Amino acid sequence: MCPAGWKLLAMLALVLVVMVLYSISREDSFYFPIPEKKEPCLQGEAERKASKLFGNYSRDQPIFLQLKDYFWVKTPSAYELPYGTKGSEDLLLRVLAITSSSIPENIQSLRCRRCVVVGNGHRLRNSSLGDAINKYDVVIRLNNAPVAGYEGDVGSKTTMRLFYPESAHFDPKVENNPDTLLVLVAFKAMDFHWIETILSDKKRVRKGFWKQPPLIWDVNPKQIRILNPFFMEIAADKLLSLPMQQPQKIKQKPTTGLLAITLALHLCDLVHIAGFGYPDAYNKKQTIHYYEQITLKSMVGSGHNVSQEALAIKRMLEMGAVKNLTSF
C-alpha cells in the first residue's frame, strides 16, 4: 500500500478511537449539559410527568410528618417503618413535638420550583458543576456527603439534606448552611428514639444500629424535619416493585438517592439530578463516591438493588421526568 493509503488508514483509525472513547465517556444519551441560560421552569411540569411514574399521583400528601396528624387526629398507618409509622406513633409524637414540619416560606412562595438532587457518585469528581448547582432554588443532598473542599464540583448551597442516624455527619454545621433542613429518613423505630435522645438530651442510645450514630449532635431542633414514609412506600412500590411486607432476612429498600428524587418530583416543578449511577459490576476498582475511596463491594448486604434502581432512573430520564447534569 502506498504511503498516502497508510496515512488515510491511520487517520480513520484515530477518528474511530476518538469516537469510541467519547462514547465510553458519555456512557449513554442521558446527559443534559448545563445550558448557558436557565431552562424555562413550567409550573406543574414535574407533576404531569411524574403521574406516569406513580399512577394515582397526588401532591396532597405532606412532605414532612406533622404533629397534628398524630395529636389531634390519630392518622392510621397501614405499614410499619420504613413504609409507614404503624407501631411507632407514641415515639413519633414526642419527636414531632420538638421539631417542625413547615416548608420554608422562600420555597413555599415560589411560583415555579427549580430543584437539583445532588447524588454522591464519583461522576461529580472534577465536574466543575458547583456554580450551576448553587443556582437552583432547592438543592437536596444525601447523608454525610461533604461540601467543604468540594465546592467547585458540588456547590456550597444545601436546602435539604436527607439522612438517617448512621449517616448523620458528626458536626452538621460543617457541611450545611445555617438554614439547611435536616430531614430524617426513619428506617426503624430506633431512629426516632435516637433523634429524641439527641434533641431532648436524654440518655443516649448505643444499640440497635449497624454503625454507631453521633452521640452529640449540635443542631437546632427547628431545622429537623421527619420525612413522610409515604415517599419511601411509593419509591419501593412504583419504581422498584418491591413488596411492602418482606421476610426479615431479605429486606430490600430504596436508597436515599432514589428516595430524594421521589421527594423532589412531589415538591418541585423542574427536577435535575447530578452524581447518580454506580460503576459497572466488572469495574471493581472504581470508587462509588466523589469523596472517598470505597468501591461497589461496600454495597454488598446493604439491602439496595443498584441495578434495579439504575433501570428506574433511566426510565425517569427517558420520560423526561428528570434531567441529568452528569453522565449516567
- CATH number of the CATH domain containing 68: 3.90.1480.20
Residue 35 within any structural domain of the chain:
yes
Q: Which domain holds residue 287?
A: 30-324
Residue 17 within any structural domain of the chain:
no
SS3 content of the chain, % helix, strand, coil (to 5): 40, 10, 50
Instruction: Tell me the β-bridge partners of 306.
Output: none
Residue 5 within any structural domain of the chain:
no
Residue 305 within any structural domain of the chain:
yes
Residue 22 within any structural domain of the chain:
no
Half-sphere exposure of 312 (CA within 13 A, CB side): 26
Structural domain total, the chain: 1
Q: Which H, E and C letters describe 82-118, residue by residue?
A: CCCCCCCHHHHHHHHCCCCCCCCHHHHCCCCCEEEEE
Per-residue pLDDT of the chain (328 residues; tens, 9 = 90+): 566 655 555 565 554 444 444 443 444 446 666 655 677 898 888 888 888 888 877 788 999 999 998 877 666 888 999 999 999 999 999 999 999 999 999 999 999 999 999 999 999 999 999 999 999 999 999 999 999 999 999 999 999 999 999 999 999 999 999 999 999 999 999 999 999 999 999 999 889 998 999 999 999 999 999 999 999 999 999 999 998 877 665 578 999 999 999 999 999 999 999 999 877 766 767 888 899 888 767 666 566 688 899 999 999 999 999 999 998 7
Residue 199 within any structural domain of the chain:
yes
